[in-house]
Amino acid sequence: MHMLNHAEASEKFIANQERTDWHDDTLWFVRSKRDKASKLLPEWEALREQASQIKEHMLSNLPQYLLEFEAKAQANGVQVHWAKDAHEHNEIVYSIIQKHGDKALVKSKSMLTEECHLNAYLEQKGIDVVDTDLGERIVQFRKEVPSHIVLPAIHLKKEDVGETFHQHLGTPKGNKDPQFLTEAARIHLREKFLGAKVAITGVNFAVAETGEFVVCTNEGNADMGAHLSDVHIACMGIEKIIPKRQDLGVFLRLLARSATGQLITTYSSHFAKPRAGQEMHIVLVDNGRSRQLARDEFRNSLKCIRCAACFNTCPVYRRSGGHSYHQPVAGPIGSILAPNFDKKANVDLPFASTLCGSCSNVCPVKINIHEQLWFWRQDLMKEGLAPAGKVLGMKLMAWMMSNPSVFRLAGGIGRKVMSWFPFLVNNGMNPWFKQREMPASPKQSFQEWYKSNRS
Ligand code: SF4
């Protein structure tokens, strides 16, 4: 089956003009909240720099901090597991569940488990996985994947949620009141929490110095799961390590403000050891991270704290929707991470950007996102992985732009065609103009203008 590339999938998304507009507006609203919240802190830029440097130091000393974390966590009574890839991660999680003979579990938001396709793996083994984050539960009911790492159901309107809950929870048809729907989800999830023996959570930060880890949610669902279950399994990518507890002050302030414009996430829960009678496991997952660490141009991408500020500001993401990226992590950072897993399957993603640099400007850990997208483009072109049409087009463009006389000639012809026969370029067959006004063709090139005006 042909998998739609980003451009093809976006075309489907933008076919609904009204949805495209509110998706764009909603995410811009979140971006604006982030701006306001960040401006309340005079030390914002210093915090970004500090966070970036802490992560830089962590990445340069990753093995040491991972071993320190393991030793401290084990001393706290936590069972630590190592997984080299997604399959091993899934097997480890399954083996823990199997030991307890349970057939259902609750899971709070974890992009790592999305990356490892844990739900599908466990469901195949007959385990009922209940996502407890409200947005994730909505997309799970609809058999969709999250379209945004912080706001998983941002592509849906309250009418869609009302209909989904009507089908799956039996709420009255047509009821789209957010308060009512949230109450319905709460009642439904409360029952699942009370019945589950096993809870899975993600990890936002793991502190090497103490062996503790921090999970941030706005709904308290990670806490409900972890505190009511007999077994807590926390799954984390190895890049989530930070050296010291005091570093949390830097990251927690940046994360909430960058993600939603809140001053602090509603629940920042610290887990250090299992309570009496409980089992606590932590699975440390590589899954391509050491490969990315070894790529000089891309190692910085491992600084990401998954705040999604780069999504909310990206003009391409806002108007193409998260599903068009066909990867669990969409948006600008997803387009850097995805080719690390599979260059050929994700060759389209680094091109899904205007390279405007807005993502790099908002990133709380100062990842040079737009530059890395550009580096990937060069790498993918060199390896000949881009579609033949794009390769040919770029070669032609390079030849034209490196030959001044050809460039002048082409510019002259282009201006004439655009002013004499505008319908040749501005028509329904040309996707570029579907959403744009065509500018009037200038009478002369800049060079011609300069020559005649230089005196
Ligand atoms: S790359 Fe930066 S802005 Fe984007 S999700 Fe990661 S931390 Fe946030």
Alpha helices in 342-368 (DSSP H): 358-362
Alpha helices in 116-170 (DSSP H): 118-124, 134-141, 158-169
pLDDT at residue 422 tops 90: no
Q: Which helix (H) or strand (E) holds 312?
A: helix 309-313
pLDDT at residue 280 tops 70: yes
Instruction: Please tell me the distance between residue 84's alpha carbon and the centre of ligand 1 in angstroms.
Output: 24
Q: Which helix (H) or strand (E) holds 36?
A: helix 17-39
325: alpha, beta or left? (left if phi > 0; alpha if psi -120 to 50): alpha
Instruction: Please tell me the distance between residue 291's alpha carbon and the centre of ligand 1 in angstroms.
Output: 20
- Measured by CA distance, the residue closest to atom 2 of ligand 1 is 363
CA dihedral (273, 275, 279, 280) positive or negative:
negative
pLDDT tens, residue by residue, 59-86: 999 999 999 999 999 999 999 999 999 9
Contact 349/334 with Cβ under 8 angstroms? Answer: yes
Instruction: Please tell me the distance between residue 365's alpha carbon and the centre of ligand 1 in angstroms.
Output: 7
Contact 95/125 with Cβ under 8 angstroms? Answer: no
pLDDT at residue 426 tops 90: no
pLDDT at residue 160 tops 80: yes
Strand ordering across the sheet containing 231-237:
79-83, 279-285, 231-237, 198-201, 104-107, 128-131
Q: What local confidence, expressed as pLDDT, does residue 425 receive? A: 80
Q: What local confidence, expressed as pLDDT, does residue 362 receive? A: 98
- Say if strands 231-237 and 205-207 run parallel, antiparallel, or are unpaired: unpaired
Residue in 59, 205, 367 to alter for ligand 1 test, most ligand atoms within 8 A of Cβ: 367
Q: Any idea what the Cα angle at residue 341 is, between residues 305 and 138, rounded to 5°?
A: 60
Whole-number Å distance between alpha carbons of 368 and 300: 8
Instruction: Please tell me the distance between residue 47's alpha carbon and the centre of ligand 1 in angstroms.
Output: 15
Listing DSSP states for 48-111 in one string gives HHHHHHHHHHHHHTHHHHHHHHHHHHHHTT-EEEEESSHHHHHHHHHHHHHHTT-SEEEE---H
Q: What local confidence, expressed as pLDDT, does residue 94 receive? A: 97
117: alpha, beta or left? (left if phi > 0; alpha if psi -120 to 50): left
Ligand 1: lining residues by beta carbon, under 6 Å:
258, 304-310, 333, 362-365, 367, 369
Phi, psi (5° rounding) for residue 346?
-120, 20
- Say if strands 279-285 and 231-237 run parallel, antiparallel, or are unpaired: parallel
- Average pLDDT over every residue of 108-120: 97
Please tell me the least confidently modeled range out of 22-26, 56-60, 312-316, 417-421.
417-421
Q: Which residues make beta-bridge pairs with 128?
A: 104
Q: Which residues make beta-bridge pairs with 269?
A: 215
Whole-number Å distance between alpha carbons of 323 and 147: 5
User: Between 442 and 375, where is the model more confident?
Assistant: 375
- Measured by CA distance, the residue closest to atom 4 of ligand 1 is 310
Please give the mean pLDDT across all residues of the chain. Answer: 95
pLDDT tens, residue by residue, 203-261: 999 999 999 999 999 999 999 999 999 999 999 999 999 999 999 999 999 999 999 99
- Measured by CA distance, the residue closest to atom 8 of ligand 1 is 307
Phi, psi (5° rounding) for residue 444?
-140, 165
Residue listed under structure tokens 């709460």: 186
Instruction: Please tell me the distance between residue 332's alpha carbon and the centre of ligand 1 in angstroms.
Output: 8
User: Between 89 and 454, where is the model more confident?
Assistant: 89
- Average pLDDT over every residue of 316-322: 97
User: Between 119 and 439, where is the model more confident?
Assistant: 119
Work out which ligand 1 atom sits closest to the CA atom of 336.
1
Please tell me the least confidently modeled range out of 30-39, 109-118, 384-393, 398-407.
384-393
Q: What local confidence, expressed as pLDDT, does residue 418 receive? A: 86
Contact 198/96 with Cβ under 8 angstroms? Answer: yes
Please tell me the least confidently modeled range out of 1-5, 188-192, 450-454.
1-5
Work out which ligand 1 atom sits closest to the CA atom of 307.
8
pLDDT at residue 358 tops 90: yes
Please tell me the least confidently modeled range out of 259-263, 298-302, 431-435.
431-435
Strand ordering across the sheet containing 213-217:
241-242, 205-207, 213-217, 267-271
Work out which ligand 1 atom sits closest to the CA atom of 331.
4
Whole-number Å distance between alpha carbons of 417 and 423: 9
Instruction: Please tell me the distance between residue 321's alpha carbon and the centre of ligand 1 in angstroms.
Output: 17
User: Between 306 and 427, where is the model more confident?
Assistant: 306
1: pLDDT confidence band, cut at 50, 70 and 90?
Answer: low
Encoding tokens for residue 179? 């308060």
Q: What local confidence, expressed as pLDDT, does residue 317 receive? A: 98
pLDDT at residue 28 tops 90: yes
pLDDT at residue 433 tops 80: no
